[in-house]
Amino acid sequence: MILKVYTSFLLLFLVNSVWTRTVRQVYDDLDPGHWSHYTSECPQECFCPPSFPNALYCDNKGLKEIPPIPARIWYLYLQNNQIETISEKPFANATHLRWINLNKNKITNSGIENGVLSKLKRLLYLFLEDNELEEVPAPLPVGLEQLRLARNKISKIPEGVFSHLENLTMLDLHQNSLLDSALQSDTFQGLNNLMQLNIAKNSLKKMPLSIPANTLQLFLDNNSIEVIPENYFSAIPKVTFLRLNYNKLSDDGIPPNGFNVSSILDLQLSHNQLTKIPPINAHLEHLHLDHNKIKSVNGTQMCPVSIALEEDYGYYGNIPRLRYLRLDGNEIQPPIPLDIMICFRLLQAVVI
């Protein structure tokens, strides 16, 4: 299961970052004579690769509005323009769209025509990063799988905006203006298949309410969170990657076994106000505690299982799986305590 999770996110990264770039490089070298078949319906401001007829590249063209989209298009690239509005007219024939990239434009909520997005029935990926949105746009296509809204001015999430997005696996809201009041107990209701939720770089002081139960990755870096509620992670039993770097967590703000959660494999608590290492689970593999106020490390106390039992059962026992430990930026003096190495036999790197 763990291997499948890592593989899924690796494939997602490769698809997003490599595939598109490779396609552009190939089609830029094609004989212009082959393009004649598409020139009649290809917007003159855009590029229509003849061997990739489902894609339309209108990025970096200085466009102020969206051109008419041909019916054959599945993948639409409009990033890095000056577009302010999304109206229904350009999409009149674009009934097969799967992917729209509108990052780095000047789109506001008032510039989005009512219902225009929800009419794109087959849309799976919607990128609206680096625009001027003040709230999550609504309504959205019910089949959406990824929604990226990073680096806007979003301070409001309309009630029920996610309630019908059962296929959504990624929701990125990082670097906006969200307060605790924007995240109600039913805000994420309906996101039954969400895997990644990114609310980093907002203005949260509390852990968000009612995170979808299937969430694997929860990113809350660069907020002002001070307290982890008791049994908070029991409601998200599959959480695997947890990032809480650059918050205001202290020892008093963490319950005795707040992070002793068997599902968590990667725990990041860098740049907080901790003076001691919180209890961890034997399944944890990566622990980031750099740039806190920790003065010493006691491996026997830190060890999630009895060192004596480890000696008795060796590799056949429930030995801790920690492989990476980062403690630099604290007040700890080397060398690394021997009992750390005795407990965590799988350690491959310790930064101190």
Q: What is the pLDDT of residue 286?
A: 98
* Residue 351 CB partners (closer than 8 Å, separation 6+): 290, 325, 326, 327, 328
Cα 236 to its chain centre, rounded Å, is 16
The rounded distance, in Å, linking the Cα atoms of 249 and 20 is 40
214-226 mean pLDDT: 98
Nearest to 319 by CA among 285, 288, 294, 349: 285
Q: What is the pLDDT of residues 289-302, one digit of tens each?
A: 999 999 999 988 99
Written in H, E and C, the secondary structure of 243-296 is ECCCCCCCHHHCCCCCCCCCCCCEEECCCCCCCCCCCCCCCCCEEECCCCCCCC
323-335 mean pLDDT: 93
9-18, 59-68, 276-285: least confident range: 9-18
The rounded distance, in Å, linking the Cα atoms of 43 and 39 is 8
Q: What is the pLDDT of residues 5-60, one digit of tens each?
A: 444 454 454 445 444 444 444 344 444 444 444 556 899 999 999 989 999 999 99
Q: What is the pLDDT of residue 318?
A: 73
SS3 5: helix
211-216 mean pLDDT: 97
Per-residue pLDDT at 145 exceeds 70: yes
**Residue 311's pLDDT band (cuts 50, 70, 90):** low
Q: Which residue has the tokens 């970096």?
A: 60
Per-residue pLDDT at 312 exceeds 70: no
Q: What is the pLDDT of residue 39?
A: 56
Write down the mean pLDDT value for the chain. 89
Q: What is the pLDDT of residue 20?
A: 44
Q: Residues for the chain: how many in total?
A: 352
Query: Are 202 and 178 contacting, i.e. CB atoms less than 8 angstroms apart?
Result: yes
* Residue 185 CB partners (closer than 8 Å, separation 6+): 209, 210
Q: What is the pLDDT of residue 199?
A: 98
Query: Are 2 and 265 contacting, i.e. CB atoms less than 8 angstroms apart?
Result: yes
Q: What is the pLDDT of residue 97?
A: 98
Query: Are 74 and 96 contacting, i.e. CB atoms less than 8 angstroms apart?
Result: yes
Q: What is the pLDDT of residue 309?
A: 56
Q: What is the pLDDT of residues 67-116, one digit of tens each?
A: 999 999 999 999 999 999 999 999 999 999 999 999 999 999 999 999 99
Cα 79 to its chain centre, rounded Å, is 20
